[in-house]
A and B are shown apart, each in its own frame.
Chain A
Amino acid sequence: MEGMSVIVKKVAQLISVLIFVFGMYSATHGHIAPGGGFAGGVLLSGAFILLILAYGVGYFKLKQQREATSIFESVSILIALLLAFTGLFAGSMYFFNNYLPPGTPGELLSGGLIPIYNIIIGIKVAATLSTIFFALIIYKEEVRR
């Protein structure tokens, strides 16, 4: 896959930053606004996919990126699992125990563990979709050779 024209590259630069920021907003404010970890993660990976489509494959070192996203994906789901396990040792002791104080609803720091889960699952979804996209592109490049 080769890069596109200068106009497309410049617009992709500008737009992908906005998409990235909106993805982060969506993932961190999941407990007070529509969106949440899943939508935020898909938006984050969409920003990278847009950049890759505009700039072509040669511009990025995709193999290193693919290994990094695989590590992020595995580590984030492990952290989510461990966080769920910590509920077994706190408060009323059950899996997925939300032991942090709920706080006042509507503020950024509220909802106990829910915002942390949202951020972790956002990282996880972004890493997973990027991994799949990178894998398909790397496979295509290798087969073409």
Chain B
Amino acid sequence: MENLLIIMLVLMIIAALTAIHAKDLISSIIAQSFIGYGLVVCFLLLKAPELALVQIILETVTLIIVLAVVCDSSMKEINEPIGKRDIITYSLSFVLVALFLYYFDKAIVGLDPFGEHTLRMSEMYVKEVLELTGSANLVKGVLWDFRGLDTLGEATVLFTAAMGVLVILRITGKKQQPTKK
């Protein structure tokens, strides 16, 4: 299982690099959606059907919306020559990646091997969620009972996203301007 997971992750990294460097925007979107669908396979390999279901549905709808936006644009990336300021950006990002890798290497020393680490808190969740909430789906019991405030925050983020889209596109605001003049 772990070998399959590693293959899938390597393919996803290749797809991410393709998405950045593709000249056509549609092929870059398809490469990007490969990352999302690869994540579905990873979730199924890690025995998380709940997350896989949400991810596959959301990825499909997001793909449609992003395609609808891109099909209306010029469909091509703007290529600008590398100037002096870009050299600073690239060197800074290399330094940051090196720093990140150094601290990542330091941080994972104390962790348990992959797949064996369980917190005491989550053990309590797994054992007692059925008695305390009566919800047969463990994930929903945790989401809407023990971690209700987190989930409310998630819903608020979605609300804010819709508000942002409406404000940026200004559908209702644009119509009122001509009547004032």
In the bound assembly, the distance between CA atoms of A132 and B174 in angstroms comes to 17
The answer to whether B155 has its CB under 8 Å from any CB of chain A is yes
Encoded as 1 (CB less than 8 Å from any B CB) or 0, chain A from 79 to 103 comes to 0110010000000000110100111
Encoded as 1 (CB less than 8 Å from any B CB) or 0, chain A from 46 to 84 comes to 100100010000000000001000100110010011001
Q: How large is the interface on B (under 10, 10 to 19, 20 to 34, 35 or more residues)?
A: 35 or more
Residue contacts A-B, CB under 8 angstroms, 7 given: A30-B140, A102-B133, A113-B144, A121-B155, A124-B155, A129-B61, A135-B166
Encoded as 1 (CB less than 8 Å from any A CB) or 0, chain B from 51 to 78 comes to 0011001101100110011001000000
The answer to whether A43 and B57 touch (CB under 8 A), given A31-B136, A36-B139, A136-B68, is: yes
Contacts of B49 in A (CB 8 A): 34
The answer to whether B92 has its CB under 8 Å from any CB of chain A is no
The answer to whether A33 and B58 touch (CB under 8 A), given A125-B158, A132-B161, A136-B169, is: no
Contacts of A142 in B (CB 8 A): 171, 174
Q: Is the CB of B61 within 8 A of A110?
A: no
Encoded as 1 (CB less than 8 Å from any B CB) or 0, chain A from 95 to 123 comes to 11010011111100011111001100100
> Smallest CB-CB separation from A130: which chain B residue?
B162
The answer to whether B134 has its CB under 8 Å from any CB of chain A is yes
Residue of B143, B148, B161, B169 with most chain A CB atoms under a 10 A cut-off: B148
The answer to whether A138 and B61 touch (CB under 8 A), given A34-B49, A84-B148, A117-B144, is: no
In the bound assembly, the distance between CA atoms of A136 and B58 in angstroms comes to 18
The answer to whether A25 has its CB under 8 Å from any CB of chain B is no
Q: Which of B56-112 contact A (CB under 8 A)?
A: 57-58, 60-61, 64-65, 68-69, 72
Q: Is the CB of B145 within 8 A of A98?
A: yes
The answer to whether B27 has its CB under 8 Å from any CB of chain A is no
Partner of A66, one of B135, B159, B171: B171
The answer to whether A3 has its CB under 8 Å from any CB of chain B is no
Q: What secondary structure prevails in chain A residues at the interface with B?
A: helix
> Smallest CB-CB separation from B175: which chain A residue?
A142
The answer to whether A105 and B134 touch (CB under 8 A), given A34-B50, A43-B57, is: yes
Q: Which residues of A contact B (CB under 8 A)?
A: 30-36, 38-39, 42-43, 45-46, 49, 53, 66, 70, 73-74, 77, 80-81, 84, 95-96, 98, 101-106, 110-114, 117-118, 121, 124-125, 128-129, 131-133, 135-140, 142
Q: Is the CB of A98 within 8 A of B133?
A: yes
In the bound assembly, the distance between CA atoms of A70 and B169 in angstroms comes to 15
Cβ-Cβ contact count across A and B, 8 Å cutoff: 141
Q: Is the CB of B136 within 8 A of A105?
A: yes
The answer to whether A32 and B136 touch (CB under 8 A), given A39-B53, A45-B61, A135-B166, is: yes
A107 to chain B, nearest CB (A): 9
Q: Is the CB of B174 within 8 A of A131?
A: no
Contacts of B130 in A (CB 8 A): 105
The answer to whether B46 has its CB under 8 Å from any CB of chain A is no
The answer to whether A96 and B148 touch (CB under 8 A), given A34-B50, A136-B69, is: yes
> Smallest CB-CB separation from B169: which chain A residue?
A139
